[in-house]
Amino acid sequence: MNYEQKLQYSLEHSLFKHLPKKLQIEYREFAKKEKLSFQNINQTVTMLIDLLQWGEKIPPLKSSNLKSLQKLYEEHKLKQKSYTQKFKVTPKKVKLRQVKKESIGFGFCPVASPKTRCCNLLTLDAVEGCGFDCSYCSIQTFYGENEVRFITNFKQNLQSLKLNPNELYHIGTGQSSDSLMWGDRNGILSALNQFAKENPNIILEFKSKSDNIHFFLHNEIAKNIIVTWSLNPQTIIDNEEHLTASLSQRIEAAKKVAQKGILVGFHFHPMVEYENWQKEYAHIAQTLIENFDPNIVAMVSIGTLTFIKPVIKKIRQRDFQTKILQMPLQSSNGKLTYPKEIKLRLFKHLYNSFAPWHQDVFFYLCMEDHDLWREVFGREYPTNESFELDMKLHYKAKIDRCKEGYKPSLKL
């Protein structure tokens, strides 16, 4: 194989085709002149794509600039993100499909790992695929590209699900799609609400970045349902969580649901480090403290950006601007994430911002290393099973209180 053939092979097996056309022409000539190896091509193409997505200028492609390109890239990875201008992203086009399934999609959380402290959440796939367009989303690697599938016989499959009446289950519906954005389309929420009423030994959690709460405001909701929202500062929502409800819309939706006596919760996952992050995350915590009775809040979970390699590849294949990969990536338990010192800085700051809630709300780390718990919360669990049990018991106590007719305080 001559170099021309090797070059063509290397370009085809890299992210080369995702460079802008003009840069492709320039890069091909550069690679040919410098006789770059397969490894060199992989590395430099990746750096160019990342810098373009981060909104940075690309230096002229010259042999003398290779080291400066590497240096520029590493400098930007290590410095905090700065969202000085709101990124404009062309929304993805989503195709909606109706499919029939032979059985219910019921199992363990798809990102669960024995190497991290995990709550052993069980998941129900009511819908497959998400209509939102968060840059960091892992759902995009689980299902068909830009496709959302509604299961036509979901209600029937749900009714056939056999559970042990003597076991307490914690089940979530927000791992394969957003739990609320579709409302009661295809009778999904109606079926899940009835499922919760018929099975008082389950804790059914909805997780969302939507403000579509019409169903919850106009129906009698089972007391063993918890409605939770994933929250981030508006800076991150504007630039990385496209098509989702604004921060104020999510909080307002949570307030209306809580006013009905329905348990709510909040997920700060993923937390993102960027300029002014301390002030903006602390502001969210203060807003929640001022607006919610902690007795109606089941949990606050905390976690950060954690990627599997297929998700990183998908991000780099997108023709859009994002700074989500502008971060020091460190390997941890087979995934790529922030170094421990950054995680501790993020998690401690947020947890300390919630000081008035520490005794009344269940706080936990989602999919994080065991050794982070004591440094953040001053407590830890010896096993995933002990964490799971403690979580369930905390949630069950608040559910029982709601069943007894607890009314949230008037500050709501």
Residues forming beta bridges with residue 291, ordered by sequence position:
none
* Domain residue ranges of the chain, discontinuous segments joined by +: 3-78, 95-403
Contact 35, 4 (CB under 8 A): no
Task: Calculate the alpha carbon distances from 389 to 198, 204, 252, 386, 394 in Å.
Answer: 22, 15, 31, 5, 9
Q: To the nearest whole percent, how much of the chain has pLDDT over 70?
A: 97
Q: In whole angstroms, what is the distance from residue 282 CA to residue 292 CA?
A: 15
Give the length of the chain.
Answer: 412
Edge-first strand listing for the sheet containing 306-307: 306-307, 335-337, 330-332
Task: Calculate the alpha carbon distances from 20 to 25, 212, 248, 263, 332 in Å.
Answer: 9, 38, 37, 48, 33
**What does the block give as tokens for 12?**
């085809």
The DSSP element (H or E) to which 12 belongs, if any, is helix 3-12
Find the DSSP H helices in 318-354: 340-353
Residue 261, number of CB atoms within 10 A of its CB: 16
pLDDT of residue 86: 76
Q: Is the pLDDT of residue 164 over 60?
A: yes
Residue 68: pLDDT band (50, 70, 90) is: confident
Contact 266, 291 (CB under 8 A): no
Task: Calculate the alpha carbon distances from 254 to 206, 232, 347 in Å.
Answer: 12, 14, 23
Q: Averaged over 138-155, what is the pLDDT?
A: 83
Contact 89, 237 (CB under 8 A): no
Residue 168: pLDDT band (50, 70, 90) is: very high
In 3D, which of 351, 346, 323, 336 has the Cα closest to residue 238? 323
Q: In whole angstroms, what is the distance from residue 184 CA to residue 164 CA?
A: 27
Rg (CA), the chain: 23
pLDDT tens, position by position, 286-338: 999 999 999 999 999 999 999 999 999 999 998 889 999 999 999 988 899 99
Residues 206/207/213/219 CA torsion (nearest 10 deg): 10
SS (H, E, C) 166-203: CCCEEEECCCCCCCCCCCCHHHHHHHHHHHHHHCCCEE
Contact 175, 123 (CB under 8 A): yes
**What does the block give as tokens for 189?**
């929420």
Mean pLDDT of all residues in the chain? 92
For the four alpha carbons of 314, 317, 323 and 326, in that order, the dihedral sign comes to positive
Query: Phi, psi (5° rounding) for residue 238?
Result: -60, -40
With tokens 């979530």, the residue in question is 172
Contact 228, 271 (CB under 8 A): no
Stronger pLDDT, 108 or 225, i.e. the higher one: 225
> Does domain 95-403 match CATH 3.80.30.30?
yes
Q: In whole angstroms, what is the distance from residue 104 CA to residue 343 CA?
A: 36
What predicted TM-score, i.e. pTM, was given to this entire model? 0.94
The DSSP element (H or E) to which 99 belongs, if any, is strand 95-99
Q: Which amino acid is at 190?
A: S
Residue 64: pLDDT band (50, 70, 90) is: low
Of 8-22, 111-125, 202-216, the range with the highest mean pLDDT is 202-216
Task: Calculate the alpha carbon distances from 103 to 160, 205, 216 in Å.
Answer: 9, 21, 27
Q: Is the pLDDT of residue 67 over 90?
A: no
